[in-house]
Amino acid sequence: SPVWDTCLSLNALTEADMPANDPRVRAAVQWLFDRQIFVRGDWSENAPELEPGGWAFQYENDKYPDVDDTGMVLMSLLRANAHEHDAQRKRMNQALNWVLGMQNSDGSWGAFDIDNHYTYLNNIPFADHGALVDPGTADLTGRCIELFGMLGYDKNFTPARRGIEFLKRDQHPCGGWYGRWGVNYLYGTWSVLTALGAIGEARDAPYLRRAVEWLYSVQNDDGGWGE
């Protein structure tokens, strides 16, 4: 997970006030740009007109960039002020356009594909993990909405609004959200709440308060949380 680890580390350094012109920050920024993907992968079967520009989770995986890594990389580059340089801003816009183009018809985002949600395929006998499809999920939808908030958009931005509508429909009866790419309800719920905060959702919105109350309700006696 070198791409994922690098953008998380870059986030940590910049949020700890390491300046953007520090050689270590600049080296991390360049390392990420060197791994941006500009070839078409399997995702282009459902989006033939969409230009590439995302990032993958690991090395040598040009056919499968994913929305999660691309969103996280863009947020780390924003924190490192990479957008202040014309050439880098152009590359970031290419990545943003790719993320926007990967939104599902129901307003959500999956990881690798668009509208790949035919769950009957999971009943095929060799689908032993039950994971032959790539449906939109709360965690990845939250990641994209958080990115839009960092870019200065609010909840009226059409892709964000559609994503929020999906999240409202996807909210679990307990008040939290299930996250597919981490374990599971705590991760999904903080991913969504972080996004809603970034995009400017009202703190007293009933569905948001339900999620917060659920988090309070599952806190351990020692003060921590654990799935």
Active site residues: 68
User: What does the alpha-carbon distance between residue 59 and residue 39 come to, in Å, rounded to a whole number?
Assistant: 14
Phi, psi of 22 (to 5 degrees): -65, 135
Indicate the Cα dihedral angle 106, 189, 77, 22, nearest 10°.
Answer: 180
Three-state SS letters, 43-57: HHHCCCCCCCCCECC
Q: Which amino acid is at 41?
A: G
CB 127 within 8 A of CB 140: no
Radius of gyration of the chain (CA): 18
User: What does the alpha-carbon distance between residue 71 and residue 87 come to, in Å, rounded to a whole number?
Assistant: 19
Burial of 138 (0-12, 13-18, 19+ CB in 10 A): buried
Tokens of 149: 């908030």
The DSSP code for 59 is S
Which contiguous run of DSSP H or E holds residue 170? helix 158-170
